[in-house]
Structure 1
Amino acid sequence: MLNAIQFRLRTMSENLPILFGIYPVFLSGITLAWLLCLQRCSWTIWGARVLACGSIIAFIFMAGPWAFTSYYLRYVFLVLFALTVVLSYFRIERSNPHFGICADRIPIASIFVFLLFAVLNALALKSYYPSGRTIDITFPLRSGTYYVLQGGGSIVTNPFHVLAGNKKAIDIVKLNPLGNQAENIPPRVLSAYQIFGEKLYSPCHGRILEVRDSLPDNPPGHPDTKHPEGNYIVLQCPMGNILMAHLKRESIMAGPGQIVTEGQQLAEIGNSGNTLEPHLHIEATKDGKPTWLRFNGLSLSVNSLITRK
């Protein structure tokens, strides 16, 4: 019985990247189909449906995990939505001689969907504007296009960290020229991920407080739940402490007590600890309390892009 449960959990973990990749594309497709299926209605019903569908597309654009397919695909769905609005308008106008005449029927479903996603969109937008104490550091990766997989203080933009109790943590991956983080969905080898083995640099001038460097890099989809951070560095910066986790085994180049300079190479990105795939987990604390992070003055949330040359 226990082996069967473990097998199911392992299978679920391996398939999560597929689900994350399908979700924004599937929901976008369903939304466009819902708008196109509208027939013989009034201005009120058509307008409400357009607003409802627009709110869904806006939410997927802002908060959908696009790195599993392509970051640039979200712009394709914006264009498709605009074309679908125009097409639905002319389809209804041609098929309904009374189009534009007000009707008594209230589009309750459309209104409900619009209000629901308006709230979710507000939460997603708010995640770009953190309130309270903030630590500003240098972005610790170089040479490429990096993508925020999770970030911001909202459950809609940072769900796993919010549920784990640290909504101010950020997960970062690297994108290839096509806008995805790996060669396929899901990759079976770590080398297929763009960020695996990427060099990590010190985001400030500071002192190393803690280091762990001995844990293995897990195969994709096989997290080590006993060691959440995996291999990690805790760096004491003048403005607070920075934790950088899920590092590659035996790649850390500094030890506890060592003084490092900003931009000094510290380690490489791996897949150690409680993680399904290679990424950089970074978070900050000040006086023992989680603190918001800015990178070179920028606040990041899900779908933020950082280009470094």
Structure 2
Amino acid sequence: MILPIVMVLIMYLLLPAALLRSLWKGSVQSRTEWYVKLLAIALFFVWIFFSGRWDWVGYPLRWIWAFLFLAAAFASWKKARRLPAKTSLSRKQKWSIAVYAFLALIFGTYNLGVLTSHWPADEALELSFPLRSGTYYVGQGGSQVQMNYHSTHSAQRYALDILRLNRLGTRAKGLYPKKLTQYEIFEDPVYSPCTGKVIEVRDDLPDLTPPQRDPENPEGNHVILTCDGDDARLLLAHLKRGSVSVKNGEKVKEGQRIGRVGNSGNTSEPHLHIHAERDGAGAPLRFGGRFPVRNDLVKN
């Protein structure tokens, strides 16, 4: 539990602050050196803005960092514009330019993955959103691993992990609490995203204390549906024990309550996992014509 907290603090607080200080206060000898440095830092902030997990530290913080980057870039440019375009470089400066050029290449590649994750390559399943109790956040979503770690598995390529945000824009009270009720989404009602038929149900697995997992029962308590007019299997997973209100073989209507969000199965914390598959391959999900990716919000 300590490692993810440390990583969050470094990635979303310490590293952005250090890079902004370097851009604002750091010294360069030429505009060329400044351009390379600015490009690398800008690409880092673009990458973290779109692909960062802002539900951990507060969704508004992504906008604060964006504003501070623009302010630091402007302040830095006011100094750099007076410098010569080129100048003879010391060995230290050559290494600095090489490092920033390498970082620009890395984060440029990352951002390409972020961009392409917004466009699915397969026919989407049109659904209604299965949650209705507040502001929901897409923690994992998209067609590329930069935005969705599920995409490395064929059947879950377009899977979504959905959480709920509180007034501070975080998913829980604290960074990684053990108490399930401190997670905003825990026990939220889950509704059928389509009219169709229930083809599988499980409801007897315990809700685990984070970070405990149950890899032997990855879906945990769950409901699998087939929607009318489509042969895709639609899974809604990690439901609360004893909350599932439908039975195998039952016909369900869109908007009918089918359970509550829990923390059962192979899950790190309470959230709703949803994905569809056709013949073992993942199918994209659209809600109101929208293909959700990480950092998207749905307000219901």
- Same fold, judged at TM 0.5 (above): yes
| Contact 1:31 1:56 survives alignment (8 Å) | no
| Structure 1 unmatched ranges of 5 or more | 1-13
Deviates most, 223-232 or 84-93: 84-93
Q: Deviations over 1:78-130 (max 9, x none)?
A: 0110111122233556xxxx613422546322222112211111110111111
Correspondence for 1:15 = 2
How do 1:277-296 residues align onto structure 2 when only pairs under 5 Å count?
Answer: 277-296=269-288
Deviates most, 162-171 or 187-196: 162-171
Q: Which runs of 4+ in 1 moved over 6 A?
A: none
| Contact 1:21 1:66 survives alignment (8 Å) | no
Is 1:269 equivalent to 2:257 in the alignment? no
What value does the CA root-mean-square deviation take over the aligned residues?
1.7
Q: AA paired with 2:206? A: P
Determine the C-alpha separation between the residues in 1 that align with 2:6 and 2:50.
18
Correspondence for 1:233 = 223
Aligned residues: 290
Determine the C-alpha separation between the residues in 2 that align with 1:204 and 1:16.
39
Name which of 91, 99, 123 aligns with 2:83: 99
Shift of 1:33: 2.9
Shift of 1:43: 1.2
Determine the C-alpha separation between the residues in 2 that align with 1:37 and 1:85.
11
TM-score, length of structure 1 as denominator length: 0.89
| Structure 2 unmatched ranges of 5 or more | none
Determine the C-alpha separation between the residues in 1 that align with 2:283 and 2:74.
45
Correspondence for 1:68 = 56
Q: AA paired with 2:285? A: L
Correspondence for 1:180 = 170
Determine the C-alpha separation between the residues in 2 that align with 1:294 and 1:76.
30
Correspondence for 2:200 = 210
Shift of 1:16: 5.0
Q: Percent identity, aligned pairs only? A: 38
| Contact 2:119 2:143 survives alignment (8 Å) | no
Shift of 1:21: 3.0
> Structure 1's 226 and 82: CA in aligned 2 closer, same or farther, altered over 3 A?
same
Determine the C-alpha separation between the residues in 2 that align with 1:255 and 1:218.
24
Shift of 1:72: 1.0
Correspondence for 1:38 = 26
Name which of 30, 42, 61 aligns with 1:54: 42
| Contact 2:12 2:57 survives alignment (8 Å) | no
Deviates most, 281-290 or 261-270: 281-290
Shift of 1:151: 1.0
TM-score, length of structure 2 as denominator length: 0.91
Q: AA paired with 1:100? A: P
| Contact 1:49 1:110 survives alignment (8 Å) | yes
Determine the C-alpha separation between the residues in 1 that align with 2:137 and 2:257.
20
Q: AA paired with 2:87? A: A
**SS at 2:55 equivalent:** helix
Correspondence for 1:194 = 184
